[in-house]
Chain A
Amino acid sequence: MTVVPLFELRGISKNFPGVKALDDVSFEIRAGEVHMLVGENGAGKSTLMKVLCGAYRADRGSFFYNGKPVTINDSSAARKFGIAVIFQDFTLVPYLNIAQNIFLGREFSGRLPGLIDRRRIHTEAKRVLDMIGFDIDPRIPVHGLGVAQQQMVEIAKALSQDARILVMDEPTASLSDRETELLFAMIARLKENGVAIIYISHRLSEVFTLGDRITVLRDGRKIASLLPAETTPDQLVTLMVGRPVDTTYTRPSRPTPGEVALEVKYLSGPAGFSDINLTVRAGEIVGLSGLVGSGRTEVARAIFGADRVTAGEIRLFGERIGGSAEDSARRGMALIPENRKTQGLALTRSVGDNIVLAGLRKLFPAGFFIPSRAMKAARTIIEKLRIATPTPRRPVATLSGGNQQKVVIGKWLNADARFYIFDEPTRGIDVGAKAEIFRLLDGLVHNGAAILMISSEQIEIVHICDRAYVMRSGRIVGELSHHELTEANIVRLGIHQ
């Protein structure tokens, strides 16, 4: 079978000072297929896509469009071949409406010189939205839309520019299950219309359900191109990391649980949870499971003192707390939030600055900041957690997701926390880094800390936690002991009958 690919990259190499980002990578995409691009963070996926869309120029390599050699020097050249990227950070303007966003920079001229034809923009936008089956009034301003809807607008924007090759970079990272279904339905529709989709994902389940083909990158090289039917998740992970990794991370033996670290009784709050009872002992990792929106994050924030509560009590190591996050932090509680970029890190500051942030009081009791002492403390943590950064002075924004997450954790290690709440600690990080994060969590409890861990991936809860609570609609609907802890039980409790 010889199918001429819609677009082909051959022998692409790209060097950055000191790094071989891409080494002789070839990649092809056919009309009407979903081509999964997988690999660990730093494997070269993003670089390859930036070469494809003209944001980077390859050092070596050639491009073929419908079998004919072409050149891509900038983003407008890529657009000419119908290549469009659905960015992770959206390129939408909040106070323009959907239609204006779709045609931003390509407004139709009106009858009078200098004016634009708003009506035509709206009708054309409606046409594009209908095409992808997104039923919404194009006059609605974008700032009121949810993440999934904004993503649909992004896709409509790309299609309105006659995109025939769509690059999606982890499109489901911030979507709920329902929104994910909608996206998948739309992808199916796009396929029928002959659109080619390059889909970058860290979620193995997506790779197998959605992908027509899979390409694996590792350390800037193409490792394999295969069909989903030819491989298994375990084999794929092995290809990605280059060594056999047990995806079903097995929990090492844990110490016998010690004193009660956290005790929450009848906690209710305005954020929509009520009568929450839970305990976490020293040396334990306790899961807090349930669907997105069941109130897990709200409960975690209330326990930490970041949000108000209306009833109930919280005891940390026997002492009643409540009130402020500052008080909780001083008493040894740490919250590692869900969204590390907006809640956990000062992105523009250095790795070192971020690490010492939570431990300032302890490190500098006199109130004066001593840079050399801060550097030393930061270096210790960087070594301990094996954070991949050449120097503590590097801005945190330049690190990969997994390493950023380690910085957030390191920040609290430095503050000598004894009770940790992890909210989705593995979101958006690759398989190898996940295993490292889990090892870290394990190390913490072995040293006598207690952990409450929130995760949407039941498999993680099952494999990491000693016990788990399951939430539904703002209430705890069940507790699963070690031997009851299975994915099926979590799902059964978490979903309405």
Chain B
Amino acid sequence: MSTRRLSLVSVSIARVPGVAIVLVALCAVFGLTSPGFATPANIANILTQSTILLLLALPMTVIIMTEGLDLSIGALLTFASIVLAVTVVTTGSPALAFLAALAVGFCFGLGNGVLIAVFDIPPFITTLGTLGIAQGLSLVVTDGQSVVGIPRSIENIYSGTAAGIPLPIIIAALAYAVTHMLLYHTRFGTYVFALGGNREALKVAGISVRGMLIRVYVFGGLMAGFAALLMTARLNSAHPTAGIGMEFDAIAAVAVGGTSFERGNGWLLGTLLGVIAVGVLRNGLNLLAVPSSAQVACIGALVIIALFIDGLRAER
């Protein structure tokens, strides 16, 4: 009887994706080593801090599912944040500033999409180029300085609460819900699976592969513009190096979450767990006073461990 139960347990463990195992293990380790980890305040803190990354990781999942990549998303976040800050400081209108950030995201997304879909430039090269452009523009516009003087109304978006829940978490939850609906309940989402899995099938069905690809990258740009609002609010300023390396975290979270880089095999919930795993890791290492440079190495190790676990399961 007991052996039977045991085997039942092992069977279900074999089905648990690597990201869940990694997340539980991380929580267990940090819960035991740092007393401040498993407190409601810290958990709320982890989730709040993960929201910006989630806003980037959601479209990154969609992009990677099309066998694409967006390296420019971190630099785009920075540039959109700077445009937002400069606009709000000069015009005094938060709404206009937010629209400006979205417009920047849209334009860069459209640029990425057109270069990739119409001119057939590989996503890696295209977005490496736009990464450079967005990062360079950020430095040019600000002369390397921070943009300060952000009004309280914007700052409140990050620090405020509604019904006791931090606003960024509500925004991120909405973004997740929207992306979920988009991916699993719309034509666009269905075609995302086909873009990565079998583009010929789309062509035969009379769907424009180019049009769909462009939309995918525009979605990425818009989400980066949206994330810029949260980041500007969080920092209460805009800084030309604030988003450097965010594309690394986003790609890592997607990979940890079990989305494959081939054949349109993606899992949105996995990305959510991957983002939280990266957030837990960063938070736990902060509590243990590990310098942030070493944290990057830990995230790299996290990716490899999670994929290793998934690989072991796949071999059976």
Contacts and interface: CB of A to CB of B under 8 A. Distances in A.
Top 9 A-B pairs, shortest CB-CB distance: A105-B205, A93-B197, A91-B201, A93-B194, A94-B197, A93-B198, A95-B265, A96-B193, A104-B205
Contact of B264 (A94, A107, A114): A94
Contact of A104 (B201, B263, B265): B201
Nearest to B197: A93
Contact of B204 (A91, A100, A114, A115): A91
B7 interface: no
Given A93-B264, A96-B193, A118 B185 contact: yes
A232 interface: no
Nearest to A76: B206
B190 A104 contact: yes
**A contact residues, range:** 20 to 34
B187 A93 contact: no
7 contacts: A87-B204, A91-B198, A91-B205, A93-B194, A96-B197, A104-B202, A105-B205
A116 B264 contact: no
A114 B198 contact: no
Contact of A95 (B193, B205, B206): B193
Interface of B: 181, 185-187, 190, 193-194, 196-198, 200-202, 204-207, 263-266
Contact of A93 (B181, B186, B193): B193
A110 B184 CA distance: 13
A280 to B, nearest CB: 34
Contacts of B206: 75-76, 105
A383 interface: no
Nearest to B200: A91
A95 B185 contact: no
Nearest to B195: A93
Interface string A61-100: 0000000000000011000000000010111111110001
A397 to B, nearest CB: 15
Contacts of B185: 110, 115-116, 118
Given A95-B263, A95-B266, A115-B181, A107 B198 contact: no
Given A87-B204, A91-B198, A105-B205, 18 more contacts: A75-B206, A92-B201, A93-B193, A93-B197, A94-B197, A94-B265, A95-B197, A95-B263, A96-B194, A104-B194, A104-B202, A106-B205, A107-B187, A115-B181, A115-B185, A116-B186, A116-B190, A143-B263
Given A93-B201, A94-B197, A95-B266, A107 B190 contact: yes
B201 A116 contact: no
Given A95-B265, A115-B185, A100 B201 contact: no
Interface in A126-173: 143
A116 B190 CA distance: 10
A87 B200 CA distance: 11
Contacts of B194: 93, 96, 104
Contacts of B202: 104-105
**Which residue among A76, A87, A89, A94 has the maximum number of chain B CB atoms within 10 Å of its CB?**
A94
B265 to A, nearest CB: 5
B189 to A, nearest CB: 9
Interface string A346-380: 00000000000000000000000000000000000
- Among A87, A106, A115, max chain B CB count under 10 A is at A115
Nearest to A115: B185
A286 B186 CA distance: 57
Nearest to A96: B193
Contacts of B204: 75, 87, 91
A223 B205 CA distance: 35
A95 B186 CA distance: 15
Contact of B187 (A76, A91, A116): A116
B70 to A, nearest CB: 20
B284 to A, nearest CB: 33
A155 to B, nearest CB: 14
Contact of A89 (B187, B200, B265): B200
A96 to B, nearest CB: 5
Given A89-B200, A105-B207, A115-B181, A94 B263 contact: yes
Contacts of B181: 115
B198 A94 contact: yes
B314 to A, nearest CB: 12
* Among A93, A107, A115, residue most surrounded by chain B Cβ atoms (within 10 Å): A93
A391 B190 CA distance: 43
Contacts of A87: 204
